[in-house]
Amino acid sequence: MDERLRTRRSGSSNWKGLRKGHEAFRKGLRWVVNNGHAVSFWHDLWVGDSPLHTLVHGPLSIWEDTLRVCDVVEGVSMWNLSILSLDIPTCTQVAIKAMLICPNRSLADKRVWDIVGGLAGGGGVIRNHVSEWVGGFSRAIGAITSVQAELRALKDGLKLTIDLEILNLEIEMDSLVAVELANSITTPNIFLSTIVTDCRSLIERFELCSLKHIFREANGCADLLAKVSCAQSPDFLSFSIAPAYVLEALAFGVSNATRFRLISS
């Protein structure tokens, strides 16, 4: 092949575009962790938007350098970050602790292409048949998509309700996608399969349980708890009594007042 032709082809706009596209694709590759056996704790991209080794100062020991994600988990999502000699930023620790990982899971880790969501929080309210406060919770989740955050909040709410020994439950959520995923009998995409499976398993533990969608305007109390949770510490709080900042929204929820919502036809 003529050397000049090879040079022109290598510098063509098509090849330049492909190289740029490959770089964008490479940057978007990350791990979806299920059991943590295939994922390097420090060097793979699995939480946040960069590998963890870029967030710490100081050298890693030979032992720490080879840690897999499963090596830092005991049981189901019981993170043992105390074994690490270097400090991970608090916001990243919150994001890690919000992840649901079980080393004994048969479902393998997968490398996929994704775009990381923004900082998110979750919250929920448990009320009895006359709308009285029974319990509530809020959780700082970290960098995650909105649907993942909604499903994590659903799981937290289900677990809290089970702890309160409630047998019959009506669930209302303002995320239509999360409701449809939990109610469906099909398997969702790889990013959501683990958390959706966990939610379905918890729902089956109730004698009676229904899950339906409502608009955000009718879910103001839970929405407030979720917004406040983004900056809270510790990452999870439960409330036996309603916190002061939700009292107005709670009162509106039990009143006959209405709000208008514009929807597309």
In terms of domains, do 146 and 86 share one? no
Structure tokens at 29: 């590759």
Give the integer Cα–Cα distance in Å for 126 and 155: 13
* Global model pTM greater than 0.85: no
Give the integer Cα–Cα distance in Å for 197 and 102: 13
In terms of domains, do 124 and 108 share one? no
In terms of domains, do 85 and 66 share one? yes
- C-beta separation of 153 from 138 below 8 A: no
**Residue 255, number of CB atoms within 10 A of its CB:** 9
Residue whose entry in the numeric block shows the structure tokens 């000049």? 4
Classify residue 178: in a domain, yes or no.
yes
In terms of domains, do 73 and 199 share one? no
In terms of domains, do 230 and 158 share one? yes
Nearest to 225 by CA among 140, 144, 148: 140
Query: Could you tell me how many residues make up the chain?
Result: 265
In terms of domains, do 169 and 230 share one? yes
Residue whose entry in the numeric block shows the structure tokens 């009506």? 170
Tell me what pLDDT residue 125 has. Answer: 95
Which of 113, 145, 172 is the last residue before a domain boundary?
113
Classify residue 146: in a domain, yes or no.
yes
Which of 113, 143, 164 is the last residue before a domain boundary?
113
Domains contained in the chain, number: 2
Classify residue 181: in a domain, yes or no.
yes
Classify residue 175: in a domain, yes or no.
yes
In terms of domains, do 241 and 135 share one? yes
Classify residue 9: in a domain, yes or no.
no
In terms of domains, do 131 and 248 share one? yes
Which DSSP helix (H) or strand (E) runs through 51? none
CATH code of the domain in which 134 resides: 3.30.420.10
The Cα angle at residue 243 between residues 238 and 247, in degrees rounded to 5: 130
In terms of domains, do 130 and 88 share one? no
Tell me what pLDDT residue 1 has. Answer: 47
In terms of domains, do 127 and 242 share one? yes
Which of 113, 146, 181 is the last residue before a domain boundary?
113
In terms of domains, do 246 and 149 share one? yes
Classify residue 4: in a domain, yes or no.
no
Tell me what pLDDT residue 5 has. Answer: 45
| Terminal Cα-to-Cα distance of the chain (whole angstroms) | 61
In terms of domains, do 79 and 127 share one? no
- C-beta separation of 197 from 102 below 8 A: no
Tell me what pLDDT residue 118 has. Answer: 63
**Residue 98, number of CB atoms within 10 A of its CB:** 25
Give the integer Cα–Cα distance in Å for 77 and 171: 25
How far CA 80 is from CA of 84, 144, 226, in Å, comes to 8, 21, 26
Classify residue 260: in a domain, yes or no.
no
pLDDT tens readout for residues 42-67: 999 988 778 999 999 888 999 999 99
Give the integer Cα–Cα distance in Å for 168 and 253: 21
Residues of the chain with pLDDT under 70: 1-28, 113-118, 188, 256-265
Q: Which domain holds residue 84?
A: 28-113
Classify residue 194: in a domain, yes or no.
yes
